[in-house]
A and B are shown apart, each in its own frame.
Chain A
């Protein structure tokens, strides 16, 4: 039990649509980050939020955006979906007093 909950678990969208994925962390987990994992690959860092401010971003275009809320929940938004966006999207959070990073079960996105 990591205390990181993601929704939805699976979803199917068509090219050009927009999607919002959600993540809920435990109280005190001030840092949240999002990763994209394509089939057969390791997760790739999308961006990170600390106290509701983005403080790190990987090599992803601006159509990938996020929000972090005061209640330790966060969102990943992807606009203008492309076929290559099909992947498992993972949310991870870190307690404020350790360096350990805990992941949720992921949201599997399929773009047709």
Chain B
């Protein structure tokens, strides 16, 4: 089974709507990273969370790490076509080396104008 599960796998929303993407692990997450990827291109760094209960925001995107450090969510407010892409969560799992990230399979987001 996948060590880091993302849900949903894909999402289609109307422009202006809010949405949430989840990232869950059965292991403790030591450092949780969110990236955005356009098809076939590199990963764009969005945010990094390290402490249980931590929350960070950048423009219309907010990411949270739960107190137990096993689940993170990414919330986009008032979505725009520019938010379309694949969102990936990556994490340092317990037992792994520092900065060795395990990734989920990604969530494909489409925003309809």
A residues engaging B (CB < 8 A)? 2, 4, 6, 31, 33, 35, 40-45, 48, 55-56, 58, 88, 90, 92, 94, 99-106, 108
Q: Chain A contacts of B50 at CB under 8 A?
A: 99
Closest to A98 in B: B48
Do A43 and B41 contact each other (CB < 8 Å), given the known contacts A55-B97, A99-B99? no
Which A residues lie within 8 Å of B98 (CB)? 56
Most chain A CB inside 10 Å of its own CB: which residue of B31, B33, B103: B103
Given contacts A41-B105, A42-B106, A101-B33, contact A48 B45 (CB under 8 A): no
Contact B103 A33 (CB under 8 A): no
Measured in the bound complex, the distance between the Cα atoms of B90 and A94 in whole Å is 15
- The answer to whether A43 and B103 have CB atoms under 8 Å apart is yes
Can you list 19 contacts pairing A with B, beta carbon distance less than 8 Å?
A6-B42, A33-B99, A41-B105, A41-B106, A43-B103, A44-B103, A45-B101, A56-B99, A56-B100, A90-B43, A99-B48, A99-B50, A101-B33, A101-B90, A101-B101, A103-B43, A103-B44, A106-B40, A108-B40
Contact of B90 among A4, A40, A42, A56 (CB under 8 A): A42
Closest residue of B by beta carbon distance from A4 = B42
A40 to B10, CA, bound (A): 12
Task: Given A40-B105, A101-B45, output 13 extra A-B contacts at Cβ < 8 Å.
Answer: A33-B100, A44-B103, A45-B100, A45-B102, A48-B99, A56-B98, A90-B43, A92-B43, A99-B50, A103-B45, A105-B42, A106-B40, A108-B40
Distance between Cα atoms of A65 and B44 in the complex (Å): 25
Chain A facing B: main interface SS: strand
Chain B 5-32 per-residue mask, 1 if CB under 8 angstroms from chain A, else 0: 0000000000000000000000000010
Contacts of A102 in B (CB 8 A): 45
Complex contacts, A43 vs chain B, CB 8 Å: 43, 88, 90, 101, 103
Q: Are B42 and A2 in contact (CB under 8 A)?
A: yes
**Cα distance A49–B90 in the bound complex, in angstroms:** 19
Q: Is the CB of A100 within 8 A of B48?
A: yes
Residues 56 to 113 of chain B near chain A (Cβ within 8 Å): 88, 90, 97-106
